[in-house]
Each structure stands twice: as structure tokens, then as C-alpha cells.
Amino acid sequence: MMNKIRYRLLAAVLALLAVNSTQAQLRINFGEDSPLRKLSIAEMAISNLYVDSVDEGKLAEDAIRGMLEKLDPHSSYSTPKEVKALNEPLIGNFEGIGVQFNMLEDTLLIVQTINDGPSEKVGILAGDRIVTVNDTSIAGVNMSKEEIMRRLRGPKGTKVHVGIKRSGINGLIYFDIIRDKIPLNTVEASYMIRPGIGYIRISSFGLTTHKELLDCLTQLRKDGMNDLILDLQDNGGGFLQAAVDVLNEFLESGDLLVYTEGRTVHRQEFRAKGNGTFRLGRIAVLVNEFSASAAEIVSGAIQDQDRGIVVGRRTFGKGLVQRPIDLPDGSMIRLTVAHYYTPSGRCIQKPYVKGDAKKYYNDIEQRYKHGEFTNADSIHFSDSLRFETLKKHRAVYGGGGIMPDFFIPLDTTRYTKYHRELSAKSVVLNANLRYAEKNRSKLWKLYGKEPNSKDANKGFKAFEAGYTVPQSFIDEIYEEGRKMGIVPQDETETEKTTVELRRQLKALVARDLWSMTEYFRVINEENDAVKCAVKQLVTN
């Protein structure tokens, strides 16, 4: 048995060595004081002497998870099925509810809803926690990630009933999600936002992102684009190579894009090839507190190389490099081996306490309480965090995340409490789905043919100029809210809610008739970050 355990551990270590044999020298020591010997003896004692039978495979998995949990928040272990599921959103189609998630304290935390997927369509948001699936609790019951995924996944067209815990909302919110084939396009929207100014929104960085971007750039240049707004708000990241390929389209030959470095990993630099298709036009990159990882690589490089401006709020601060270590049974360890650094030398990763994932993921909430989202003066940097951009030598700061050149405060007054409650309880989304289903054919006749036809753009322009959300549509939402106990404080709150609700509903109707591009064409006209970017590109 001792030899069996030793061989198992040796195989895992040798797998790690094979992954990076040129960059890390690993010492395999089975001496009397070796931690590996200590681990082997403990496993052998439990397997042979414990009062009840044990699952040796699970013991090994629990040991690995236990070790990784004491490290950084992004080192992790995944079973073979988990590996497949975690990779699917970036590398292939699959059928399910369309969310990316992490497990935090036995609770499924939604990191991002997949663009135009089933969960996004019914109103599930990043930050939501799935607590029940088909009336069975999955939170706080020590249910495996594999079992949770089994309950959520299923054939296209089948329904799953989930209970959601949302911050700021008492009790659970319930959603019926119709499983579907999950779309994997990572460019959510692309259009001419003003004469000469193109707009592209990227939701994540996957295998197809670069090609999608090239297609959009080609079309926008045909439409007269000279300058570009690249929207990375809420972009949770993805593949490093996708970020590098995107940056290559904007920067000159030899320009440093990003580099990685770690304790045992030598510095590795990524530079532009100089064959990009958009190296001259001006660029404004939009970010916020949910822009992370690859999105921070792109925005940091654009800023450090003085290639463009960054607009929004400080990004998440995810700058840890994970190396996948495949284990013999198809499971995988994602081990943090290095940090990401911007061209000026700033470390993207925000500070963290090893083993305290809860504090790490609650950092966004603490930023909000501290006032960082509403007041740029609440953010203070020490001189030790000061860096300079590479061409114009402007001051930029490290310490975690990318601080924008133009700060856009979060507007906490735009949406009333009444509006937020109507949205949180899915009153707005459900009413919109019913309205779109009932009126889609009539609206298509009024504003052009179906999406993807040659007349779609012309039809949207007529819609944009001529469509007004009917008062009956608004009244239906208010009446449904009243039945659920959601009522305004006074007439003033109703009036303010109506203004924003009309804009939201018009955007949702546009999405249902055409695509997410048309949704953003409506909603962006009141997006403060977008308006700031347009102003800078028009006036400078």
C-alpha cells in the first residue's frame, strides 16, 4: 500500500514536471522528513486502520482541494466532468442554462451569464447565488459541483426551476429556465455609434474572439469607421492568447503587450507583430469593476502604450496565471504559477490573503461601501505604486486592477427602489417576453423584415426613431408588481421609474426583434461611460 500511494503521488509530481520541465526544477524527496512521506503515511493509516471503509480516490481529491484552498483564490482542482464543463463555454457548443460560476462556501456563485443564453434572457445576473434546483436545496448541503452541474444541465428544450439569492433582495427569487444550446459568440455588439466612430463590445475572450473582432473591424471600416470604442465592461476575461491576438490588431511591431513572471517561472513577454489592421485610429476602452483578467490585459496595454484612453471604473484585479496540470484520470489542477504584468510593470493582481476566498470575492462590495464606485477621490495610491506610460510618460498606478484615465461614477440614483424590485422579481423581464411574443410579427411588419435580412438595419433605424413603449405595457408591469406586493412610495417615484423603464423596455424589445447589437444601440445612448468616450473621440 505504501508503494501504491507513493507511485500515485510520484505520477502527479512527474506530470507537473513534464508540463514545465525547462522552467522549474522540482525536487522529489521521500526522505524521513519529507512532506510527501508524511502525506503517504497519513493516507495509508486512514485506508488501513480507520474504523469504516473509505474511498481512497475521494481521500486523494480532498487532500488536493485542501492544499489548494490554502493558496490563492484561483488555484483549483476539477474532476474530469468538471474539466469538460468548465472548458465548454470557451471552446465548444453545449446545452444547458448558460452561466459561468464558482463555488463559494458550498454555494454556486454566478460569475457571468453567457451572452444571449437562457439564464441571461430570464434576468439572472452576475453575483446571483443559485440556492435551489427544482425545489431541491443545493447550497450548504455539501453537494459536489459535479452533482450540481448534473441537475442544471440537460437537453435543449427542457425546463429547470431555480431559486436565486440576490444581494439586497429579501428571500429567494424563482426563475424557470428553458435549457438551450449555448451560443459562444464573444462579440456582443458591433455598430457605428457616431459618424466615423465604431463600437464593439466583447463579453469574454475565447477561441473565436479574434476572428469575430476582425470581421467586425472589416465591416465597420466599410461603414466609415476612423476611431473605435472597445467596450470591455463586465468582461470577465478568458484566454491569454485571445487577448494578445486582439491587442496585436491595435499596436505596432515590437510593442510589449503583457508579460508573466513567477517564483519558478521566468519572465515571458508577449509583443505585437506589427501586422494589425487597426493601428492608426484612436481607441477608447470601457471598463468597470467586473472587467477582469484578459480584459485587464487589453485595457492595461492600451493605456501603458499610450495607444488610447481607458474610461470607467477600476477593474477587478485578476492577474494570476493558472497552469493546467492534467492528472491521469482526466481531472485537472489549475495551479497559479505567475502574475500578469502590464507593459509598464504594473501587477494586475489585487492583494489577497491566502486561504480567504470569501474576503477576496467580497472585495467588490467593500469597494462600494468605501465609496470607490461613486467618488474617484476615495481611491488613494502610494508613491510606491506609481508607474509611467511608455511613450508619453503619464502617471499610472498599480496595486491591483487598471485605474481608468477618465473616471465614471456609478449612478446610484438612476433606478428607483421600485424599479429595482420590479426587475429583481422578474416582473419586467416576464412582461417583456410576453409582449415580444404577442407583438413580434406586427412589429416586424412595421419596422422591416426579420433579423439577418438585408433590411434589418434599416428596420431598426425606423424602430429607433418611431417606436414608443405603449402605456399599456407599463401599466401591465405595475399591476403585476402590485399583485406581488411591489408598490411605489409616491407618485414622484412612479414618474421617475416610468422614464427609465421605457428606455429599458425599448432596448429589450429591440433585442428580441433583432439582436444584442440593437439592445446596446438603445441602451448606450444613456450609458455615461459610452457618452464620455464619444465626447473624447469627437472633441480631441
Contact between 164 and 424 (Cβ < 8 Å): no
At 109 the three-state DSSP class reads: strand
Contact between 345 and 261 (Cβ < 8 Å): no
Query: How far is residue 298's CA from residue 239's CA, in Å, rounded to a whole number?
Result: 12
Which residue is catalytic, options 116, 128, 234, 304? 304
Is residue 461 annotated as part of the catalytic site, yes or no?
no
Query: How far is residue 293's CA from residue 317's CA, in Å, rounded to a whole number?
Result: 7
Q: Cell 493546467 appears where?
A: 324
Query: How far is residue 88's CA from residue 80's CA, in Å, rounded to a whole number?
Result: 13
For the record, the C-alpha cell of 104 comes out as 463559494
At 375 the three-state DSSP class reads: coil
Query: How far is residue 458's CA from residue 451's CA, in Å, rounded to a whole number?
Result: 11
Which residue is catalytic, options 203, 293, 344, 426? 293
Query: How far is residue 56's CA from residue 246's CA, in Å, rounded to a whole number?
Result: 45
Is residue 304 annotated as part of the catalytic site, yes or no?
yes
Is residue 454 annotated as part of the catalytic site, yes or no?
no
Query: How far is residue 518's CA from residue 505's CA, in Å, rounded to a whole number?
Result: 12
**HEC per residue, 402-461:** CCCCEECCCCCCCCCHHHHHHHHCCHHHHHHHHHHHHHHHHHHHHHCCCCCCCCHHHHHH
The catalytic site residues sit at 293, 304, 318
